[in-house]
Each structure stands twice: as structure tokens, then as C-alpha cells.
Amino acid sequence: MQLKQTAKALSWALMLAVASVGASAAEPAFDQGIDAGAVLRSLRSSRAQAAPSLGQARSQTASDGQAEWTIMYWINGKNNLVAYVDPDLNHMEEIGSNEHIKIVAEVGKEGAGSVVRRLMQYDEQPTTVTSPVVRDMGAEDMGEWRNLAAFGKWVKANYPAKHYMLSIWNHGSGWLQGRPQGQAAPGEELSKAGISYDDASGNHISTTEMAQALAAMGGVDIYASDACLMQMAEVAYEIRNHAQVILGSEDNEPAVGWNYARYLGPLAADPSMSPAALGRAYTTAFQDSYALLGRTTTISSLDAGTFRDFIPVLDDWTAAMRRADEKSVVLSARRGVQSYSNTDNVDLVDFINRVNEQTRDEGVRTSGTALSSFISGRMVTSNATNGSRVAGSTGLAVYLPTSSFNEEYAQLAWARDSSWPAFARWVLGVVSESTQARARF
């Protein structure tokens, strides 16, 4: 047991170290209190079960009844992330399924031929994935939302539980819907839209399709994106009715992704954890995983239920902003706001607070304070950052472009239900006017 834990920890640390060459050594910031390392040490001393055979795994599923949690991982490695698939599966095997938690992964790998579903089980092999294949899916398209929905429904039928979590492992590009044409440079993402890019099919799952998949499988308690740029108001609002807790990153994630042993360890130690508590534990574990390497990271968990009350508070502020018409304030706030690798994405609370620091309009200040407090106090249930470049991140990003407005935005429920599209266009007009003025002089 100790050999497996040590070897796998070293394997993950080595991948991170390679990815960290040239990274900042800035001190990490924490806002949670769960010691995931201590949990894993406790599990090491008490764990005694090895992986069952395929037949045993199937009979165990049929006889155990309802678990506390079933965790579903959609591991789409049919792209340039394929090298990270097996190390992450090995981390899942540090914990493995038991009578209280089931860990089920649908796994696709570039060049592997078949997509397979595995019931993840504890084993003693630090570099080999031994968990049984419980279903071979053939050359399945992992960029097709209907296949994701089918996976969720199949898992629920075969591994019933009181609570469900779904995590999509892949590249991510926030709310963006369409897939642009053209080829990326070596090492870059081939797609720049949505999530779950399958380079064999050329397909991906858009934000609206992700909501359709979650709805079709009957929803989950926690939805998580192990992917870049997905923790946006537009994405969270689209899936708000199909998850209680939403986990993700405002910024890019390191290619290594999540250390699954750290995330699953606290749950294995306490399978009765609520969705909110597990969301907070995941946030802590993500930050803890990168703490010693100085990698720039963001991670947060959201209470999806708060979106019911969010739109009226947002609309009050955008209306006050447009009435005040303080163009210089808008320009200053937009120039300095926390943004990400896609510079059209900004941290919403940071933008509000920057406006509040400069406005002379009491209506703007009052409604801005209410909106900022709502997001930070009710919607964002945990948030952690590492690195000075993302220090202004508070847990929720939003689209606020400065050069052109993407008309596909209208496809989103957020665009239909909120005043944000009109406000963003107004901000864009202010920025464009300033650019034109500078050009004239």
C-alpha cells in the first residue's frame, strides 16, 4: 500500500515539476481548512482491500445496493492530453470503490481504439491501471453530448447512490459555443469552444449541450469541470437546474489536472459528506495539490440554487450603471480588471469593486455593493487562488469583450434571461469610443 501511495505521489509530483519549469514561486493563498494529506495518511493505515476481478466487480454492484456517493468521470483523452490519462486513473486507484462510494470512469485515449467504462478499484500497481473494464463502448464519440448523457444514465442504473457527482476531464474554453476552423500550433488546443474535444471525430460538447446532457441523465448533486476557463456565469447559469454545486476554474488549469487521490480521500474518510462540503473539500484539495509548486491556479465552488435570486440583483446594478453613464469609470475598471488567458473573460466581483471604488453615483455604489455581497457571500461557497496574476479572482468569471461581440452569445439562457448582453455591448461601445478618440488624436 505504502509503495503504491509513494510511487504515485512521486509520479504526479514529477509531472508537475516538469510542467512547472519557469513558473513563479509565489506563495499560495488558501481559504479552506481541510488537510487532505492527513486524510490520505489515515487511509493508508486502514485500507486493506485489493481490486476484485471483473466478475466480482459486477456482482458487487448488484448486491451492495445504494452507495452514499457515485462519482462519474468523463475522461476524454482523445486529444493532446492523452499522456495524463493513466496517471489520473492511477490516482483514483489509490482510493478505489467500496460499499459507500463508487468511482466509475468512461475513458477514451487517443490511439486506443475503444472507449471503455471502468469501475475504479484500489490496487497495488503504482504505474498500471488494473481496474476492471465493465463495458467496451467501441469507437465512441466523446464530443457528443448524447453519449455523455447515456453514460450518466447507465451509471445511475448500475451504481445507484444517494448522491452523484459528474466531472468532465478535458480541455475547456468557457461558454464559447462554436468550433473555429484551422489547426493549432504544436502543444496548443485544437479546439477553442465548450468542453470535451474529441479530435478523432472533430466534435465537442457546447455549453448548451452540456445542459442537455445533465438534464437527460436526471441531474447530479455536483458538476465539476477538470478543464480550463469553465467557471463562468454563462456556463453555471446554463446548468443551474441540473446540479446543486458547480466546481471549476476561472483561469487555465495546469495540464496535469487534478490529483484525484487528494479529492477522493476526504470523501472516502467521510462518505456522508454533503454536496456543499464535498465541493469545499475539492477546492481545498486542488489548491493543496499545487501549493508547493508556485503554479498559477484558480478554483471555486458555486451554490447553483442562488442563481434563482441572482438575475434581479445583477439587473439592478447594470441599470444603475447605464443611468449614471460614467464612461471614464467603466473604462478604468475594464482596463484594470482581473482577466484570464481569454482576455474577454473577467472576474465579475473584481469588476464591480473597481467600479465602486471610482463611481460618484450613489445608486451605482449601493447596487454594486449588494451584487458583490450576493456573489461573494451566497453564490461562491469556496474559492482559492495561487499566484499574483490571478490574485483578483473571487470565484466567478463573465464575458466582457473589448474588441467585438460574439453573436453566438444569444444562444445562452444567461443571454436571454439577464441584462448582461445589453450591458456588455454598452461597455464595448464605451471602449470602442475611447479607442477611436485616441486614434483621432
Classified as helix, coil or strand, 136 is: strand
In order along its 441 residues, the chain shows pLDDT tens digits of: 444 444 455 555 555 544 444 333 333 332 333 344 444 444 444 443 333 333 343 334 434 579 999 999 999 999 999 999 999 999 999 999 999 999 999 999 999 989 999 999 999 898 999 999 999 999 999 999 999 999 999 999 999 999 999 999 999 999 986 544 333 333 434 334 689 999 999 999 999 999 999 999 999 999 999 999 999 999 999 999 999 999 999 999 988 878 899 999 999 999 999 999 999 999 999 998 887 778 899 999 999 999 999 999 999 999 999 999 999 999 999 999 999 999 999 999 999 999 999 999 999 999 999 999 999 999 999 999 999 999 999 999 999 999 999 999 999 999 999 999 999 999 999 887 654 444 333
Q: Are residues 161 and 228 in the same domain?
A: yes
Q: Are residues 317 and 290 in the same domain?
A: no
Residues whose CB falls within 8 Å of the CB of residue 432, separated by 6 or more in sequence, listed in order: none
Q: Are residues 68 and 128 in the same domain?
A: yes
Question: How confident is the model at residue 294, as a pLDDT?
Answer: 80
Q: What is the C-alpha separation between 306 and 166, in angstroms, rounded?
A: 20
AA identity, residue 158: N
Q: What is the C-alpha separation between 134 and 57, in angstroms, rounded?
A: 8
Asked if residue 368 is part of any domain, the answer here is yes
Asked if residue 228 is part of any domain, the answer here is yes
Question: How confident is the model at residue 277, as a pLDDT?
Answer: 97
Q: Are residues 34 and 7 in the same domain?
A: yes
The two beta strands, 161-169 and 195-198, are unpaired
Asked if residue 260 is part of any domain, the answer here is yes
Question: How confident is the model at residue 65, as a pLDDT?
Answer: 76
Alpha helices in 20-84 (DSSP H): 36-46, 54-64
Question: How confident is the model at residue 15, as a pLDDT?
Answer: 54
Q: CA–CA distance from 129 to each of 51, 96, 120, 123, 403 (Å)? A: 11, 12, 9, 8, 47
Q: What is the C-alpha separation between 190 and 257, in angstroms, rounded?
A: 18
Q: What is the C-alpha separation between 392 and 320, in angstroms, rounded?
A: 24
> pTM of the entire structure?
0.85
Q: Are residues 288 and 182 in the same domain?
A: yes
Question: How confident is the model at residue 176, as a pLDDT?
Answer: 87
The number of C-alpha atoms within 13 Å of 105 and in the hemisphere containing its C-beta is: 26
Q: Are residues 20 and 85 in the same domain?
A: yes
- How many domains is the chain partitioned into structurally? 2
* Domain encompassing residue 393: 307-440
Asked if residue 416 is part of any domain, the answer here is yes
Q: Are residues 227 and 321 in the same domain?
A: no
Phi, then psi, of 165 in degrees rounded to 5 = -130, 140
Q: CA–CA distance from 66 to each of 1, 12, 61, 71, 150 (Å)? A: 28, 32, 9, 13, 20
Q: Are residues 260 and 315 in the same domain?
A: no
Question: How confident is the model at residue 433, as a pLDDT?
Answer: 66
Question: How confident is the model at residue 388, as a pLDDT?
Answer: 94
Q: Are residues 290 and 311 in the same domain?
A: no
Asked if residue 300 is part of any domain, the answer here is no
Question: What are the grid coordinates assigned to 369, written together?
Answer: 455593493
Q: Are residues 256 and 372 in the same domain?
A: no
Question: How confident is the model at residue 37, as a pLDDT?
Answer: 45
Q: CA–CA distance from 23 to each of 44, 64, 294, 369 (Å)? A: 32, 47, 7, 35
> The dihedral of CA 327, 328, 329, 330: what is its sign?
positive
Residues whose CB falls within 8 Å of the CB of residue 41, separated by 6 or more in sequence, listed in order: none
Q: Are residues 116 and 248 in the same domain?
A: yes
> How buried is residue 377: exposed, middle or buried, by Cβ count under 10 Å (0-12/13-18/19+)?
exposed
Asked if residue 302 is part of any domain, the answer here is no
Q: Are residues 281 and 346 in the same domain?
A: no
- Domain finish residue from 245, 273, 295: 295
Asked if residue 301 is part of any domain, the answer here is no
For residue 109, the cross-strand partners are 77
- Domain finish residue from 243, 260, 295: 295
